[in-house]
Amino acid sequence: MSTRVGIVAEGPIDLALLPSILHQIAEERAGVTWPVNVADAFEWLQMRPRGHGGVWMAIRRIVRVLEKDPQLPYAFIVILLDRRTQKIQKKIRKLISGKDRFVLAVAQEEIEAWWLGDRKNTLAWLEFPEPPVGTRYADGGYVAERDDNPKYTLHELTEKSVHVDRVYGEGNLDLARDFAELWDGRVRLKEIETQCPQQFPPFCNDTAQAFRHAKSSGSQFKQAEFDQIKLT
């Protein structure tokens, strides 16, 4: 038995990093002791489009499915966007209003800000005792949520680390997956909440509530049950 959570996000790096955060929220904030399986809802929908336009199309389709049949192959769906998608956010909020099967997460810039918000694990992954001098991450007043280019901050760090064999550039999926392997089971939620105080705490609260609701309603699936739930 497990709780299945679907993700609708703009790109593959979101999909690489978000499961570790969800696993930690489930265990630490909602007391979930059984496995949590996180899956890309685009695969279930058999859709290719990505980006914020693809997210809008996916949620619109899922809402239509729910109108016909309230059963989904997920306890709930997490929708992840960044703050620059305000028009899409407004449309999605209106679409999911009053529906308890959705959690809308908004990263102030990009999900990399949440990654950088966990300073202890970020530095441990790159084997730095302290942020390298001269990097944005070393600034005394650094706050991840106010970083106007988290990808560049990660690029600087990976450029100076001997632990990784490539740089982050405009986003490197292999590096995100490598960090996620270390991160799973170790995400420091409180530190990210301190570093990303505007968007991350509400996301944690809403997600914990969704897990608690799933827990109380028994929203757990066996694989056979999952396989029977088809799109119509």
Model confidence over 47-88: pLDDT tens digits? 876 788 899 999 999 999 888 877 889 999 999 998 888 899
Q: What does the block give as tokens for 54?
A: 């693809």
Prediction pTM value: 0.91
Q: What angle do CA 208, 213, 216 make, to 5 degrees?
A: 125
Tens-digit pLDDT profile for residues 41-50: 999 988 876 7
Other residues' Cβ atoms within 10 Å of the Cβ of residue 171: 17
Nearby residues of 103 by Cβ (< 8 Å), 6 or more positions away = 76, 77, 78, 79, 203, 206, 207, 210
The one-character DSSP state at 135 is S
Please tell me the class of the 1-108+198-219 domain: alpha beta
pLDDT in the model for residue 42: 92
Give pLDDT, residue 225: 45
The domains of the chain are located at 1-108+198-219, 111-184
Give me the pLDDT at residue 72, please.
85
Collect the ranges in the chain with pLDDT lower than 50. 221-229, 232
Per-residue model confidence (pLDDT) at position 171:
96
